[in-house]
Amino acid sequence: MAPLIAGLSGCGGSPDPLSAKPYDAADQISFSGDGGGRKADPDKPLEVTAKGDDSRITDVTATDAAGRYVRGELADDGKHWRSTVPLAAGAHYTLKVSTEDSNGAPGRRTVDFTTSSARRLLKVTFGPKAGEYGVGQPVTAKLSRPVKDPKARAVIERALKVDSRPAVEGVWHWVDSRTLHYRPQEYWPAHATITVHSNLKGIRIGGGLYGGEAKSLRLTTGDRLEALTDSGTHQMTVKRNGVPIRTIPITTGMPGFDTRNGIKVVLAKESAVRMTGASIGLGAGSYDLMVYWAARVTKSGEYVHAAPWSTGSQGAANVSHGCTGMSTANAEWFFNTVRLGDIVQVVNSNGEDMAPFGNGYGDWNMAWADWRKGSAVAAGQPDATPADSARLRPQV
């Protein structure tokens, strides 16, 4: 028994280095964020370096305040680790470094640091204002700075989130370098809830530009209300959820002032508005009228409104300067029935086609394939199938 006990005693005198409590490795490593109290530069990668020849890095983890990991690569010799994804601006990170010395003893070092705030911020403003709209209302995003680079545009698009219940798939379209519109392939569902928010804050967009804050937006839709204006038959048919609820005798633009064909949405409602011939290039004395029950459908001045002076032509001829005129009673009913974002479609006019952008919301006049080409993310990608759409629906 004595030799056996002696042997056991001898083994206990040589502890395994890996079982020892980790020592503080502060003197064995340096990292790029350690700037004497200065905040780390988010434009530069995070780097951790082992000092001297007697130590090496065995593991590095870096996480943000939400627990998301920063990917990185450790050199084969254990002397250097470098992040491979951008850091966010104005964010807090925790860095945990594991080391070992020449004898294999483990060391640990934990460091908290913050990145500096971005000097150039891109702010986003969503539109329209929160509220209830018709099913034709697009969602808009206005940027505080122009963005032209396709890669930067893709970063922005992926961070701007639009969800709806019931769920429909939609796509952002770049109208210009500072404006995006979002719409589904078809109109929004009736009685839908649409939420819009941005995940862009602190994200590096490119060229020293970072995402700023954006106020989220919540919209709802009402019934699906559509007004089909037929300039050939001089009749307007108003449908609610696909069911005709009223047919109205109308007059539209006369030759030379033809009403634009295409899909428009109600932009504004004005119970009284002054209209003059000078506003459309006619002589100052041509006409100057107060017009009532006016629903505006283009920025250039097309309205659906009361036109008591043309009741003899309503249902029979086109005699207006581009607006859709009807009796006072019908105009008041239309004014009180429609909401902003409701659809007004004109057919069989000799006028120009409604432009998709620049004169109101003509977004629905662009074919879906062309709409997707205006996205920095969806362009060239196959459209989502119904099965894909079901999988991508937000969860309750």
Out of 173, 181, 234, 305, which one is annotated catalytic?
305
323 catalytic per annotation: yes
3-class state of residue 76 by DSSP: coil
Complete DSSP assignment for 316-350 = T---BSSSEEE-HHHHHHHHHH--TT-EEEEES-S
Buried residues in 155-169 as b, exposed as e (16+ CB within 10 A): bbbebbebebeeebb
Joined together, the tokens standing for residue 83 give 């992040």
Neighbours of 360 (CB within 10 A): 21
Question: What is the Cα–Cα distance from 264 to 55, expressed in whole angstroms?
Answer: 70
- In eight-state DSSP terms, residue 5 is H
Joined together, the tokens standing for residue 320 give 């207006």
Out of 181, 234, 321, 323, which one is annotated catalytic?
323
321 catalytic per annotation: no
Question: What is the Cα–Cα distance from 122 to 120, expressed in whole angstroms?
Answer: 7
- Dihedral (Cα; 362, 365, 367, 371), 10-degree rounding: 0
Joined together, the tokens standing for residue 243 give 């069911």
- Dihedral (Cα; 27, 29, 32, 34), 10-degree rounding: -20
Question: What is the Cα–Cα distance from 134 to 225, expressed in whole angstroms?
Answer: 7
Joined together, the tokens standing for residue 106 give 């483990």
Which residues are marked as active site? 305, 323
